[in-house]
Chains A and B, each alone.
Chain A
Amino acid sequence: MASPEIDEFEQLLFDWEDGTLDTAGTTRLRDLLRKSQAVRKVYVERQMFGAILKFDGDTGIDSADAGRGASGAATFSVSEEGPRFPSAVSESAVDASAALQKTADSVEVARRRYKSLLFVIAASFLFCLVLGRWLLVESRLQSAEQVKPETSEALPEKLESTSAGIALVTRLVDVTWQESEKQFTVGDALSVGVVGLESGVAQIEFFCGATVILEGPARLVLESSTVARLQSGRLRAQVPPAARGFQIHAEELRVVDLGTEFGVAVNEGEADVQVFDGEVELYQPNGEQRLVTAGNAITHAASGVFELAELTPDEFLGLEALDDRVRNQKEDRYQRWLDHSMELRKDPRVITYYSMEQDRYWKRRLASSVVPENRNLDGAIVGAKRVVGRWPQKSGIEFKRPGDRVRVNIPGQFGSLTFACWVKIDSLDRWYNSLFLTDSYQRGEPHWQILDTGQLFFSVRLGGGPGKGHHKVLSPPFWDASLSGRWLHLATTYNVETRTTKHFLNGEKLCEERIPDELFVQQTCLGKATIGNWSSPTRPEADFAIRNLNGSMDEFVLFRDALKSDEIRDLYIQGRP
């Protein structure tokens, strides 16, 4: 049945597994794999066979386990040993020669097998969770600003591109970037190149495992996943044993870590190295090297002279302190927004306001926050999910599927209008991507949406024949994929006094346009409308009926007035995540 090629392959693979295959054999083995699909199939089959046996052996699913009563001890060592858990089990639980004597009670075996498998999985998670504890903290902190939903098809590609990177940006606090350099957001992968901070703090995790906290103003040149050059500023590096050998170059110096925590500062040709824990090796260009141990600090002057210096750990922001800052920043900003929101609710110019604050996740009613309370203005959430909003303590609404929407009914006649919302756009999939669309689009009804070109679109229906029924005001394109997943503040004003429409992004005016007299509408109204989608219109000429937003919204407010530019700016400042 098997071809000579497969025979040869199986023998080679067997030797390779045994660790006895020479280089020529290994090359041949790879060639066979490259050349033939049949060989690859056999390879995977054989490997899968090995995997099953290995896994079963490790998890005690073999007769050896029966009656040994060792599973308790084995599991104990498992949870302590972490990543090596299956070996721990196999060493203690599998004793093949003894096993062969056993005639097992099958029920007992099955019970043990199941138990033991569970233990292993549990142990695996213990390990994962312990190591991942800070990740958990991090992910909670990030979830507000960094949920980047992706389709599963898009993932592998994304992962591939990430693989080009050598480090990740994991936290940013109050960061402003040097103008000449690239800007990053949390979650970005960094490739070889410069990270330039004007101010603020960035946490960078190198793929080797080292974590660096860079305090602006500073310039760090990433050279590889294990080497970075500090051109100016200060950083603190935390290097777990797995990342030992991580290097920071500062001026002429090479600081090679031996598993530790240290700080480096570079200022006008002078480099300071402070070791808080463990030890580092310093290399000079002339080949000289010296060891600096915990509690010591050294200054390396531009002249090349070393001097002992005083240890000042407080000058180097650590992980814990950064964590506090991140929390504080988020907490501060959330509080600031909340205070502002409480005032906004009472503003008589507000027609309706969905703060999306303190709504329970399971509630399908989107409470209007307007004071005095008016429950008739409450919206109904259809399909859309409640998700974390701009801050962990606040919710937002995610629109994903073509049916997702919030339905509202806003009675009354108005003149000028202002629309404002915080939105996180994942992508602009549709020709029209709805922010707020009235159902029937009759005379005086506004439509507020985003085109797939990334332009804000606002119009008020005049009526009459198709095409002539409104004047649309388009902003310049403001959105591209680089803004995907970021919270943006969008606002549009419709001023019936000056007959102008203005679009705003993050408090800045994008554009302003006067509406031609023949298309101007004095009186506006809203009625039944949809946020984040368009209710399938019944009019026959209505095209492009699918207009669902792909993204999330957190706060939506509508005013019976055209807000001034500085008021819009204030909405942005007060609500900035």
Chain B
Amino acid sequence: MSNFTDLFPAVSSNNVLEMICGIGDGRTVHGVTNSYTMGTASAIELTTSYQDMQGSSIDYILPDGANYVHYEYIVKWAARDYSGICNWRLYFDGYEVNSAFVSNASSFGSSNHGHHLVYINWVFDLTVSTTDYTDGKILKSDWTGAKNIKVMAREHTSTYDARAHWTTWRDGSTSGYPFLDVPLLTVTAYS
């Protein structure tokens, strides 16, 4: 016999349909109807070519009734040379969401002390009548099945080298560095 609430499902008590949240350690996170496996991050050196950011990629399937999807990737960035100027691009299904592009850096200086979090953030609008990848506006009929969302990053030049998922100092020492600073990915679907 079925559950009563399977026969008479409750109306949604708010507009949050599901939230997928996990750190980049290879874990599997279960959503309302699908499961997602996070990437596995390690402390890395960036280059002057864009590379996929570990822990940022998800092949996301929309829950029924979704009108907006908020993608949030929190990544630790560290300067290696001078200010460590860095560029971050967001991609949806292989298309760059240009409006979500950010650059970051620390103050210019000869000590590579700049370490901070970078927030890559976008709200995909699914209520539009035509798809505009540049602005992250996606017609629902163009988001069927799993669509990949990911972040790619590069350093500005080899004079301003940068690192990701990286911590140099811990507990008063640099012994044993680099330490992994694991990224966090959150995807929330709203009605």
A and B physically associate: no
